[in-house]
Structure formats: structure tokens, C-alpha cells
Structure 1
């Protein structure tokens, strides 16, 4: 069991630094809204990961094959990210910099929306599901496909991921004192551009020919 835990910790650390929309939105939330807001957002992200891991565990190869036959799911997720990014980008294009709440406290009613935002932002990215499918397929046999070992492995991986995120949140929070309305608007536009790019990438994946969209082969290459 200890070997499984030791193997899971580095993977959780690496997962925390995988660059994507969640990575940047987490840092933005911490820098602008504070530690608690970012923490709630991150819990929503982790819940989406738990859902994906559960789906991957009970479906694995069959779901992997379905994803390769239905790349339209990538297009669907990509369009949502694209629209969301465009909305944020143009929303920051109007108004005065002085109108932006630099040090405003997050209301209790906002925490639920942050939690849901973290969950949905992670959940609509079908690439995250593919990632967990790959991990299940690669790691499962080395754990003898024993449910208890698999639970320990993924629980440890997510815990390492969460702890690493806490340090990222604390570091990003230190930037709050240096933020001005203009800088906040630039950060939000930057996040919007990243969301747009991620959305376009997912849409392009949806139009890649099936012979190039071979997920099993890609996962085998990762394992080598």
C-alpha cells in the first residue's frame, strides 16, 4: 500500500501543474477574490475529477472506444469553453477600471456559484476524462485491479493535487495587494483568451480524422 501511495504523490503534483483553463482560473480567483473563494472553486474542480474517475473506473475500455467514435463530444465541450471565453473577454471591454472591486469580499451566496463554476469548467473538458481513462488503463494492471488499492492510489493522487493547489492559491493570493482595476481587467482578458484557445483546440480535435484520433495508441505511447 505504501508503494501505491508513493507512486501516486508525484502524479498528483504533476496533475496540479497541467496547464489548462482550470489552472489559470484558479490562480485568478485566488488573486482577485481570495483564499476561501479559490478553495471552494478548487473543491468543485476536484468533485468533477472524482466523477470522471468513477466513470473511467466502471467503463474504461468501452468508454474509450466510444470517445474515439464520437469526437463530437470534443466539439461540444470546445464550443462551451469558446462561448464562455468570448463572453468574459467582451464583458471586460466596457466600464471604468475604478468600477472593478479590487478588495471586495466574496459573499456567502457567491461560494456556491464558485463551486459550481469549478465543477463545470472541469467537467465540460472531455480531455480530462480521457486523461483519467488513460491513468486507469495504465495504472490498473499494476495495482492488480484491486478496488482497495485503486481507491488508495487515486485518493492519494487527488490529495497531493489538492495540497499542491493550496500552495498555488496562497502564492497567487500574495498578488492581491498589487492589483489595480486595470490589472484585474487585463488578467480577466488573459484568462478569457486562454479559455478561447482551449475551446478551439477541443473543437479541432473533434474534426480530426478517426485514424488520427486513436486514443488507445496515444495512451500506449505515454506509457512507454
Structure 2
């Protein structure tokens, strides 16, 4: 039942450092709004992970393969990310005074429910996360011998992710005292730009899957030659 738990801990640690929009927003939220806000955002993202896990665990492999490889879903998720990134960039450009107030704790506003929903939505629209959890479930079945063992394995991955995320949040929060409002302002804008980039990449993956696969192969050959 407890077979493969060291692998689960390691995989959870690796997933916590997977570069994506959620990763950057957790760091940015910790710096700008503090520990509780960043943790709430992270819990929203993990709730989306749990829904993906339940769906992947109880669905047939045929349905899973159809969903995770559906280009329309990937394009849809990418469009939402791009729209979110553009709106976030525009709002940030108009909110320098608010950033100054938050930095010096002048009338701070913390919409925890909004942050939870934001974390959930940003993770849920990334269907690559679903494909990743399918891989984790396959690994769990390979490393454990019982259905209970699979559940323990998955729970361990989630706990490992959460503990690692908390460590990231605490480390990022320590940087706040060393950062000026101007630096935080620029950081928020760059995070918005990165979200737009991730969304654009998702759209390209959905629209031109064969071309991108061929390009990746050519780049690998170029750098390994």
C-alpha cells in the first residue's frame, strides 16, 4: 500500500516547480499580497488538480485520450489564458498607486475568495495539467499493487506539492521588504506577459500540433548534433 511513496514525494516536488502561469502568480501574489493570499490562490489551483485526478481516475482510458488530445480544448484554454493576461496587463498598467498602498500596507484589500477562484480557473483551463495527472496515475498503478495504494500515492503527490509551494511562498514573501513598488509593478506586468505567452503557445499547440512536433525534433537534432 505504501510502495513508491518516495517517488510520489519527489514527483510532487518536481510538479511544484513546473514552470507555468500558476507558478509565477503564486510568487507574485506572495510578494504583493502576503502569505495568506498566496496560499489561498495555491489551494484553488490544487482544488483544480483534485478534480482532474478524480476525473482521470474514474474515466475510461478512451475518454481520457480523446479529451487530452483534443486540439479545440487546448486552443480554448490558450485563448482564455491570453484574455486573462491582457486584462491583467491593462489593470496593472493603471494600478501603480494601488501597488504602492499595498506595499506599505495602506488600506490593504485581500479578496481571498476571488484569489481561490482565480487559482482554480487558471489551473483548470490548462488541459496539459490533466495529461500530467494521467501520467501520475499510470505511474501510481505501476509502483503500487492495490487501489488503496494508488490513492495514497496520489495524496502524497498533492501533499508534497502543497508543502513545496508553501516553502516557495515563504521564501518569496521574505523578498518583499527588499523590493520597491516600482519593481513590484514591473514584476506584475511581466507575469501578465508570461501568461499571454503561455496562452499563445497553447493555441499554437492546438492549431499546429504536427508542425510543432516536427520543429521540436529538428531543434533537438540541431542541439545534439
For the criterion TM > 0.5, the same-fold answer is yes
Residue of structure 2 in register with 1:26 after alignment: 26
Q: Distance in 2 between matches of 1:211 and 1:65?
A: 21
Which residue of 2 is the match for residue 124 of structure 1? 125
List per-residue Cα deviations over 1:180-222 (Å, max 9, x = no partner). Answer: 2211210111100110011011111111347988xxxxxxxxx
Contact 1:99/1:181, CA 8 A, preserved across alignment? no
* Residue 62, structure 1, aligned to residue 89, structure 2: no
Deviates more, 1:5-14 or 1:129-138: 129-138
Query: 2:5 matched to 1:5?
Result: yes
Aligned length: 210
Distance 2:60 2:13 in 1: 23
Asked if 1:113 is matched to 2:86, the reply is: no
CA offsets per residue over residues 31-59 of structure 1, 9 Å max, x none?
Answer: 11001111111111111111101111112
Structure 1 distance, partners of 2:209, 2:163, is 39
Change over 3 Å in CA distance of 1:120–1:106 after alignment to 2: farther
1:52 aligns to 2:52 (yes or no): yes
Gaps in structure 1 of 5+ consecutive residues: 214-224
Structure 2: which 5+ residue stretches go unaligned? 214-225
Residues 38 and 169 in structure 2, CA contact (< 8 A), matched pair in contact too: yes
Contact kept, 8 Å, 1:4 with 1:152, in 2: the verdict is no
Tell me the C-alpha RMSD between the 2 structures: 2.1
Task: State the alpha-carbon separation in 1 of the partners of residues 18 and 45 from structure 2.
Answer: 13
Work out the CA distance in 1 between the residues paired with 2:170 and 2:83. Answer: 30
Q: Which residue in the other structure is 2:143 paired with?
A: 142
Where does residue 193 of structure 2 map in the other structure? Answer: 193
Distance 1:68 1:45, change over 3 A: closer
Give TM-score, length-normalised by structure 1: 0.86
Aligned to 2:85: 85
TM-score (norm 2): 0.86
Q: Work out the CA distance in 2 between the residues paired with 1:99 and 1:107.
A: 10
- Deviation at residue 67 of structure 1 after TM alignment: 2.5
SS at match of 2:19: coil
Deviation at 1:135, TM superposition (A): 1.8
Q: CA deviation at 1:2?
A: 3.6
Question: 2:49 & 2:173 partners in 1: Cα distance?
Answer: 24
Deviation (angstroms), 1:68 = 5.5
